[in-house]
Structure 1
Amino acid sequence: IQIFFDNDTLAQHQNAAPEIQRIKKSRRLHPNYVIDKYNVLFKIVKRKSGQQLHLRYLPGSLIVKVLSAYHNSTFCGAHFGVKRTFYKIRDRFYWPNMYKDIVQHISSCINCRKNKPSRRKPDGHLLSIEPPRGVWERLAMDYVGPVPESKSGNKY
């Protein structure tokens, strides 16, 4: 997918975000972050495969825009589930709690809720039991045991 904002726009949004400003100011304490020539903060992420990626650190003000572009847009395959949307975004951007935000965005997507079938199994059929006609006609009992002996010597 084409990135729908340029480096200047991303830098402006990052500069307005206090958590990103703290990271930029204490960058020497954070070896997993770099800043490029456009003043855009990147997080360095190493995958299990050994691949090292420089991901744009996305400020909170742009998260909904990216989620909408990758989930709602027809250019990205429109309305994929949580995992596919996550895998599309995770190699391009970084922000804390990304997976949780994707789950929340997709679960609130009206089109997905209307058009995607529920994977929940239907409830079982409940059958009513005829009430007994007289006393002791029906008896129910729960069996428990053997029960371990208590400290005071009780066995039941």
Structure 2
Amino acid sequence: IVLPPRNNKTESVKATADADAFVSTDPDATLITDTNVSHTKTIPHKFSSNYFDSNKLQQEQARDPHIQNIIRRLQHKPNNSPFIFKDNLLRKIMTISPHSKIERDVIYLPSSMIKSLLYACHNDPMTGGHFSLDRTYHKIKNLYWWSKMKLSIFQHIKSCLACQQYNVGRQKRHGQLNPIPPREGPFLLIGIDYCGPLKTTPREN
């Protein structure tokens, strides 16, 4: 029995596998566009819904007066602005890193949802973990932005009861030494170090 050659099928399977490998190993394949701006999902669902409901973003942005002022300014002067209005949400254009030229747009988080987001990404047992300031900030910055963002995260972590109970500092506290003001002339202040009483030696020293 003579079987037909299967070279064509093997080559097609290999080509498909190579294409899949290229897509899976190229992290920027779906990130970079022609304008060097990568777009996040319309409404990202990354944090626990126990505290944070991303479906309320559009509704809460409409209630935020500061966000509405920015949207009105964009309607009159859309150029040279770090904000864009896309998918019925106000977004801020950010660079991926300080030295990167690739930009992405992240959702401007309304002030009414800041507390719930911080609870979801810091306190929630599923999507939180009580991480430090830097790790909590990096979890949020690629999805959301608001003014004085790091300060809000820092204040939330400082007020977290679990972090205050279990994240005990390992450094020694400062002593109670009171500084002595310098005198106006030499030999006006003399310092003497002393210690004791000490045990006597066999020679009664």
Does the TM-score normalized on the shorter chain lie above 0.5? yes
Letter in 2 for 1:45: M
Asked whether 1:31 is paired with 2:81, we answer yes
Quote the Cα distance in structure 2 between the aligned partners of 1:88 and 1:121.
Answer: 31
Quote the Cα distance in structure 2 between the aligned partners of 1:60 and 1:25.
Answer: 18
**Structure 1 gap segments, 5+ residues each:** 127-138, 143-156
Runs of 4+ in 1 over 3 A off after TM superposition: 122-126
Quote the Cα distance in structure 2 between the aligned partners of 1:123 and 1:96.
Answer: 34
Number of residue pairs matched? Answer: 128
Q: CA RMSD, aligned part only?
A: 2.3
Asked whether 1:97 is paired with 2:148, we answer yes
1:5-154 superposed matches below 5 A: 5-7=53-55, 9-27=56-74, 28=77, 31-37=81-87, 39-46=88-95, 47-48=97-98, 49-124=100-175, 140-141=189-190
Aligned to 2:126, what secondary structure does the other structure show? helix
Question: Alpha carbons of 1:77 and 1:69: their partners in 2 closer, same or farther (altered >3 Å)?
Answer: closer
Question: Alpha carbons of 1:6 and 1:70: their partners in 2 closer, same or farther (altered >3 Å)?
Answer: closer
Letter in 2 for 1:75: M
Question: Alpha carbons of 1:125 and 1:18: their partners in 2 closer, same or farther (altered >3 Å)?
Answer: closer
Letter in 1 for 2:103: Q
- The TM-score normalised by the length of structure 1 is 0.72
Q: CA offset at residue 72 of structure 1?
A: 0.6
Contact 2:108/2:145 (8 A) holds in 1: yes
Question: Alpha carbons of 1:68 and 1:6: their partners in 2 closer, same or farther (altered >3 Å)?
Answer: closer
Identity of aligned residues (%): 34
- The TM-score normalised by the length of structure 2 is 0.56
Q: CA offset at residue 118 of structure 1?
A: 1.5
